[in-house]
Chains A and B, each alone.
Chain A
Amino acid sequence: MGKLIMQGKPFIPGSTHGFVLVSREPLSFWGGYDWKSGEIIDRRHPLSGLNAKGKILAVPFTRGSSTTTAVLLEAIRAGTAPNAIITTSTDFFFALASVVADELYATPLPLVAISESDFECLQTGQHIEIDSGGGITIT
């Protein structure tokens, strides 16, 4: 039985599901995400060493480099991206990777922004479903 626990804003709509990896620390994909494997490689980041391929990644926003978009686009093409990314505000860098992936490969990555209080409810290891309206269900 699923339980709808939160309503997000789907800034790139799409439906998917997977186990969630959560951190309150923002992440730069450049220097932080190995697109060849999906591993988080920023050695100062709490998720360092974990693999986000096929998972739902939840980080508040992107940090630092303007190359985050390019790295996420490579990951989408290589099949090593998360299934979706949840943030606490509309993230331009993630959104652009998804828009360009749609333009080049017709494979946009679902992106949902949720409130900070809802974000606090997410825990690594939960299995969640995201619907195209931005609804998030813990299953």
Chain B
Amino acid sequence: MTLTLNDKDQAMLRGDHGPAAKMAMSILVRMAEVAEAKELLDITNAHIDSTVYIGDAGLEFAERLAGLGAKVSVPTTLNVSGLDEYHWQEWAVPNDWARQAYRQMVAYQSMGTIPTWTCAPYQTEMKPSFGQQIAWGESNAIVFANSVLGARTERYPDMFDICCAITGRAPAIGLHLTENRAGNLLLQLQDIPDALQHSDDFYPVLGHLVGKISLDKIPVIAGMKVQPNEDQLKALGAASASSGGVALFHMVGVTPEAETLESAFQRNQPQETIPVTMDMLRESRRALTHTDGEKLDMVVLGSPHFSLAEFKQLAPLVAGKQKHANVKFLVTSSRAMTQLAKHAGFLDTLQAFGAQLTVDTCILTTPMLPAEMKYLMTNSAKFAYYAPGLLGKQITFGSLKDCVASAIEGRIIRDESLWGN
């Protein structure tokens, strides 16, 4: 199978659109060949995950493109950076590291991008629409865009996203194409109580399990009794993209390509059906916690970034209360959401409780936590999945209410009533 390029693709490849477009197109073409694409297609939106500073190779890549005068050709949002640009000094971020991370922020901003600095771009005004062809990086954003919005992106890695943004093109492969968006694995919920389905902590636990079972397949979740809200679907997707490689899930009666079971499978038969039982969910919840003690140094919320609705949910839980003096309580979010939360009056409530806020970044991508913080608690399965390897911390997973109760008591408390056993 050979790749056919149109006139504009070939012009970019020759360098007619400048050296940055040439570099981006040459990477795009090589990767399209690896993926055995027949052609490239137009995209109208991009989200750049390459903004996260990992090390000097990623920085050299960004500065090479920026130095060549790279400009994006479609509306392009930026994922979290390595740094909370205006508050990093309040944490343990080393100066040298901050300087490099900042250079990477500058490089990507110079390309005409929108400095959203968030891993939840689908909760900004740049949210894509149903059927829109986009090129997104960041696993939780990819799975949300495909599954909940019905936009179309492949699971793109860092650095490929910016090549698509510069050229306005992506390989016509995978989830860009209707026929590849059919579910192929049926996950049937069995006797999962409504009360649990209404509870926030159900979704990350289910997502963690869905990722483990599905790996890179397209799961169809059936048997939901309640309509989850946007943030619950966000938590489910983020969890499934961490424990597996899920880039698209369908939820029958909930997500837009799954009005019915038949439409989720595009009228094909599932390759496999797996029942999802309470026992499996309990095991999934257990796997998200890596300590059985009560010790607690810090509660971390906002992975992915906290939305306005989540601030609204948290504020009454902490109103009039005080966190324990020995526990830190951190919420990570975007600049935009934080401003909205401030205008709504939620930030004053959080600050009175003793909560701290970090924007632009994620505690998984910036070295902000002091070494003495060892025992963390979170309501995010994604964070619980990555923190042991990335940060070397002990993690306990709990609901939002558990996290607040624990922060007040200064020790880990979890309400087991919905989980049984």
Residues on A facing B (Cβ under 8 Å): 11-12, 26, 28, 30-32, 35, 41-43, 61-71, 73-74, 76-78, 90, 92-93, 95-97, 99-101, 103-104
Given A66-B49, A69-B159, 6 new contacts (CB under 8 A)? A12-B34, A31-B386, A64-B211, A68-B157, A70-B54, A97-B157
A139 CB to closest chain B CB (Å) equals: 28
A116 CB to closest chain B CB (Å) equals: 13
Interface assignment of B142: CB less than 8 Å from any CB of chain A: yes
In chain B, what residue has the closest Cβ to A40? Answer: B389
Q: How far is the CA of A31 from the CA of B137 in the complex (A)?
A: 17
Among candidates B31, B57, B64, B245, residue contacting A95 with C-beta atoms closer than 8 Å:
B31
Those of B378-421 within 8 Å (CB) of chain A:
385-386, 388-390
Q: Are A78 and B157 in contact (CB under 8 A)?
A: no
Task: Fill in one digit per residue for B242-273: 1 if any A CB lies within 8 Å of its CB, else 0.
Answer: 11110000000000000000000000000000
Q: Are A66 and B35 in contact (CB under 8 A)?
A: no
**Interface stretch among B22-30, B186-194, B326-334?**
B22-30
Note all chain A residues with C-beta closer than 8 A to B175. none
Q: Are A96 and B245 in contact (CB under 8 A)?
A: no
Which 3 A-B residue pairings sit nearest by Cβ, starting from the closest?
A: A69-B157, A74-B55, A77-B57
Interface assignment of B139: CB less than 8 Å from any CB of chain A: yes
In chain A, what residue has the closest Cβ to B54? Answer: A70
In the complex, how many residue pairs between chain A and chain B have their CB atoms under 8 Å apart?
A: 122
Q: Are A66 and B61 in contact (CB under 8 A)?
A: no
B370 CB to closest chain A CB (Å) equals: 20
Q: How far is the CA of A63 from the CA of B216 in the complex (A)?
A: 8
Q: Are B158 and A61 in contact (CB under 8 A)?
A: no
In chain A, what residue has the closest Cβ to B160? Answer: A96
- What class of interface size applies to chain B in its complex with A? 35 or more
Q: Are B31 and A64 in contact (CB under 8 A)?
A: no
A111 CB to closest chain B CB (Å) equals: 9
Q: Are B27 and A93 in contact (CB under 8 A)?
A: no
Listed A/B pairs (6) with beta-carbon separation below 8 Å:
A73-B58, A74-B54, A90-B34, A90-B36, A97-B157, A103-B23
Interface assignment of B241: CB less than 8 Å from any CB of chain A: yes
A83 CB to closest chain B CB (Å) equals: 18
Interface class of chain B by DSSP: helix
Q: Are B54 and A71 in contact (CB under 8 A)?
A: yes
A74 CB to closest chain B CB (Å) equals: 4
Q: How far is the CA of A71 from the CA of B389 in the complex (A)?
A: 14
Known: A26-B215, A70-B159. A104 touches B389 (CB 8 A): no
Note all chain B residues with C-beta closer than 8 A to A101. 57
Note all chain A residues with C-beta closer than 8 A to B55. 35, 70, 74, 77-78
Note all chain A residues with C-beta closer than 8 A to B205. none
Residues on B facing A (Cβ under 8 Å): 23, 26-27, 30-31, 34-36, 49-50, 52, 54-58, 60-61, 64, 137-139, 142, 154-161, 211, 215-216, 241-245, 290, 364, 385-386, 388-390
Known: A12-B34, A66-B157, A96-B159. A73 touches B139 (CB 8 A): no
Note all chain B residues with C-beta closer than 8 A to A42. 389
Q: Are A67 and B54 in contact (CB under 8 A)?
A: yes
Note all chain B residues with C-beta closer than 8 A to A35. 54-55
Among candidates B26, B138, B142, residue contacting A103 with C-beta atoms closer than 8 Å:
B26
Q: Are A66 and B245 in contact (CB under 8 A)?
A: no
Q: Are B243 and A64 in contact (CB under 8 A)?
A: yes
Of the listed residues A42, A66, A71, A78, the one surrounded by the most CB atoms of chain B closer than 10 A to its CB is A66
Q: Are A64 and B241 in contact (CB under 8 A)?
A: yes
Known: A62-B245, A63-B215, A64-B244. A92 touches B389 (CB 8 A): no
Q: Are A96 and B157 in contact (CB under 8 A)?
A: yes
Among candidates B36, B49, B154, B245, residue contacting A64 with C-beta atoms closer than 8 Å:
B245
B136 CB to closest chain A CB (Å) equals: 9
Q: How far is the CA of A12 from the CA of B34 in the complex (A)?
A: 8
Note all chain B residues with C-beta closer than 8 A to A70. 50, 52, 54-55, 57-58, 157-159
Q: How far is the CA of A35 from the CA of B364 in the complex (A)?
A: 16
Q: How far is the CA of A73 from the CA of B57 in the complex (A)?
A: 6
A8 CB to closest chain B CB (Å) equals: 14
Note all chain B residues with C-beta closer than 8 A to A65. 139, 241-242, 386
B167 CB to closest chain A CB (Å) equals: 15
A28 CB to closest chain B CB (Å) equals: 8
Q: Are B57 and A76 in contact (CB under 8 A)?
A: yes
Among candidates B57, B137, B364, residue contacting A74 with C-beta atoms closer than 8 Å:
B57
In chain A, what residue has the closest Cβ to B245? Answer: A63
Q: Are B158 and A67 in contact (CB under 8 A)?
A: yes
Q: How far is the CA of A113 from the CA of B417 in the complex (A)?
A: 48
Note all chain A residues with C-beta closer than 8 A to B364. 31
Among candidates A31, A68, A73, A95, residue contacting B389 with C-beta atoms closer than 8 Å:
A31
